[in-house]
Amino acid sequence: MTPTGHYGIYGGQYVAETLMPALQELTAVFEASRTDPAFLAEFHGLLRDYVGRESPLYLARRLTEHCGGARVYLKREDLNHTGAHKINNTLGQGLLARRMQKPRLIAETGAGMHGVATATVAALLGLRCEVFMGCEDIERQAPNVQRMQALGATVTPVSSGTATLKDAMNEALRNWVATVRDTFYVIGTVAGPHPYPAMVRFFQAVIGEEARRQILEKEGRLPDAVIACVGGGSNAMGLFAGFIDDPAVGLIGVEAGGYGLATGKHAASICAGSVGILHGNKTYLLQDDQGQIRNTHSVSAGLDYPGVGPEHAYLHDCGRATYCTIDDREAIAAFDLLCRTEGIIPALESAHALAEAIRRAPTMRPDQILVVNLSGRGDKDMDNVTKARAALAGKQGAA
C-alpha cells in the first residue's frame, strides 16, 4: 500500500471534499496510534478481557471425517463477544474516536453484526450511536435490530435504492458529511476511502496473527490454505494478514454466488465484476455497462454488497489470493452440516467459507490442513435459513 492508500490501481480517497479533512485527521491519528504502546495496550487488554480473545483454533474432527481428506480447523470468531469478528474492528475504531474526542459513532450494517458491535463499543465507551440499516435487512435480521436498540443505539431504516447494505453505507456517508465535526464513522469492513481499508485490516489482523501461532503450536506447520468469506472482506483480510508473507499458504476468499453467477443474482464482485469507484475507493464492483451499480443478491445479508475491499482486488490481480463463489444452496448445506457434525451453528456468511472447505477437503490428503474463518455465529440466521430453504425448494419446483 502507498501512503495515500493505493493498492496498485485500487483504493484511494474518492470522496466529497467535505470529508477530506476528516479523513486526513483520521489517518494521522491512526498512524500515531498503531505504534503507540498505550493505545495498543488498551486495545489488546480489551480484546482479552472484554471480547474474550484469543479465540480458539478448533480441529473439527467429525467434519474432517465426513469430508474425508484435509484436516479442517475452524478459527472461532463466532465465540467473540457479540458473536462475530466485527467487534475487533469496532473496538479499535471506538478507541480512536475517543482519542479524537468525537462523542458520536455512526455505522452502516447489513447482517446487523457490525451494527451490534458498534452499538456495543459505544455503550462500553459512553458514546452516542446511530446505525443505518436497509429496510430489507431490518426485516431479514430482526433479532440484531433489537440488540442494537437494547444497547442504546438508534437504528435508522434506509429505504433508498435497494434498501440493503450499499444503501445503508450511502446514508451513513450522507449523515457523516453533515455531522463530520463531532461524529466518527465506524466502517465495518476493509472498504471505503483510505485509511479505512488499512485501518480495519490492522484491527482485524489479530485473527491471522493468532491463527498462525495456534496452528504452529498444534501442528508444527503452516496450513496449506486459509479460507474466509468475502463481503467487503474484513474477516478475510484479518485472516490473510497472518499468512500473506508465507507464500506456500494459499489464501482463498469466498464470494456470495447467490442464485448462481449465470442468473446475475449474486454478490460476487471479484469473480463477476469490473473495476469502478464506489464508497470512496476504486475496486471491483457489480455494475452495468453505464457504471450504474447493480442489485445484488445473497441469502446472507452480510455478503450482499456490490463492492469489495481494494486490497482484495489487488491480491486477486497479482494472484496472491484466489477468489471463488459459493451459492445460496451450497451455503445452506454447509450450515446444516456444521450444525449436525460439530454442534456449531455458523453465520450464513461464514457458511460460505465452510462450503468451500467442504468442497476442497476431499480432494486433499489427510496430512494437509485447511483453516476456515468461522467469522460469526448463526443465531441471527435461524429464520433466514428456514425461509431460504423454502425459497430454494420453490425455485427447484418451478424449474
Partner 1 sequence: MNRIDAAFKACRRDRRKALVAFLTAGDPDLDATAEIVPALAAAGADIIELGVPFSDPMADGPTIQESSQRALATGTTLDGILDCVRRLRRQTQVPVVLFSYYNVIFRHGLDRLTAEAAAAGVDGLLLVDVPLEELDEVRPSCRQAGLPLIRLVAPTTPPERIERICRDAEGFVYCITVTGVTGARAALPADLEAELARARAASPVPVVAGFGIASPEMARTVAAHADGVVVGSALVKCLAGPGGRAERIAAGAAFIASLAEALRPTGGNA
The verdict on whether 375 is a catalytic residue reads: yes
Per-residue binding string, partner 1, 261-290, x by CB under 8 A, is -------------xxxxxxx----x-x-xx
Of the two residues 33 and 164, which places its CB atom closer to ligand PLP in the complex? 164
Cα Dmax for the chain: 60
Q: Quote the CA–CA distance of 368 and 227 in Å, as a whole number.
A: 14
| Catalytic, out of 33, 55, 75, 86 | 86
Contact of residue 20 among partner 1, ligand PLP, none (CB under 5-8 Å per partner type)? partner 1
Q: Is 86 an interacting residue with respect to partner 1 (CB under 8 A)? A: no
CA angle 392, 397, 399 (to 5 degrees): 95
Single-letter code of the amino acid located at 159: S
| Catalytic, out of 33, 77, 102, 108 | 108
Q: Is 307 an interacting residue with respect to ligand PLP (CB under 6 A)? A: no
- Binding residue for partner 1, selected from 10, 13, 90, 134, defined by CB under 8 A: 13
Q: 378 in the Ramachandran plot: left (φ > 0), alpha (ψ -120 to 50) or beta?
A: alpha
- Binding residue for partner 1, selected from 86, 102, 140, 166, defined by CB under 8 A: 166
Of the two residues 23 and 237, which places its CB atom closer to ligand PLP in the complex? 237
Q: Which residues of 200-217 are buried (b: 16+ CB within 10 A; e: fewer)?
A: bbbbbbbbbebbbebbee
Of the two residues 43 and 284, which places its CB atom closer to partner 1 in the complex? 284
Q: Is 164 an interacting residue with respect to ligand PLP (CB under 6 A)? A: no
| Catalytic, out of 234, 298, 300, 375 | 375
Which segment (27-35, 121-129, 231-239, 254-262) binds ligand PLP by CB under 6 A? 231-239
The verdict on whether 387 is a catalytic residue reads: no
Q: What is the DSSP string of 80-137?
A: STTSBTHHHHHHHHHHHHHHTT--EEEEEESSSHHHHHHHHHHHHHT-EEEEEEEHHH
Single-letter code of the amino acid located at 146: Q
User: Looking at the chain, which runs of residues are DSSP E strands?
Assistant: 6-7, 10-14, 57-59, 71-76, 104-109, 128-134, 154-158, 183-185, 225-229, 250-258, 274-278, 280-285, 321-327, 369-374
Q: Is 239 an interacting residue with respect to ligand PLP (CB under 6 A)? A: no
Q: Is 161 an interacting residue with respect to partner 1 (CB under 8 A)? A: yes
12 and 281 Cβ atoms separated by less than 8 Å = yes
Of the two residues 276 and 309, which places its CB atom closer to ligand PLP in the complex? 309
CA angle 153, 148, 227 (to 5 degrees): 125
Find cell 490501481 and name the residue: 9
Q: Is 291 an interacting residue with respect to partner 1 (CB under 8 A)? A: yes
User: Of 18-47, which residues contact partner 1 (CB under 8 A)?
Assistant: 18-22
Of the two residues 159 and 363, which places its CB atom closer to partner 1 in the complex? 159
Q: Is 8 an interacting residue with respect to partner 1 (CB under 8 A)? A: no
Q: What residues make contact with partner 1 under the rule CB under 8 A?
A: 4, 12-22, 160-161, 166-167, 170, 173-174, 177-178, 180-181, 274-280, 285, 287, 289-293
What positions carry a catalytic annotation? 86, 108, 375
